[in-house]
Amino acid sequence: MTNTKTWRTDLKPPKIPPLMVHCFRCNKEFGIKWVGGKQQAYSKKNSWAYWTEETEGDKKICNSCLLNFYKNEKKLFWEKVKNPSRRNVLSGYAINGFLSRD
């Protein structure tokens, strides 16, 4: 008999804790989830640069500020988020409640 079962368990990816950051808008501390996958990276959802393509700094934004930005700062949203597919993704996140939970 081989110990296939044990070996398979060992193949499971390690659980990576969230990256703790501060929101650049409200200064709240929050965690960014590790998404893994092909990119082996933390979620880009909370990266300001991901949405705006602003390369300066490495600003992080929490879910509630991101939701507020989308819902209540529409003018700024259109100015900042120029990439049409990112606009779609962000509005999808806002509409389906993805930004209301952590």
Binding site for Zn ion (CB under 5 A): 23, 25-26, 28, 62, 65
In the complex, the smallest distance separating the C-beta of residue 66 from Zn ion, rounded to whole angstroms, is 8
In the complex, the smallest distance separating the C-beta of residue 102 from Zn ion, rounded to whole angstroms, is 12
In the complex, the smallest distance separating the C-beta of residue 58 from Zn ion, rounded to whole angstroms, is 15
* DSSP summary character for residue 12: S
User: Which amino acid does the sequence have at 83?
Assistant: N
Residue 51 in contact with residue 86, Cβ under 8 Å? yes
Which residue number, 26 or 76, has a Cβ lying nearer to Zn ion? 26
Rounded-to-integer distance, Cα 24 and Cα 39, Å: 25
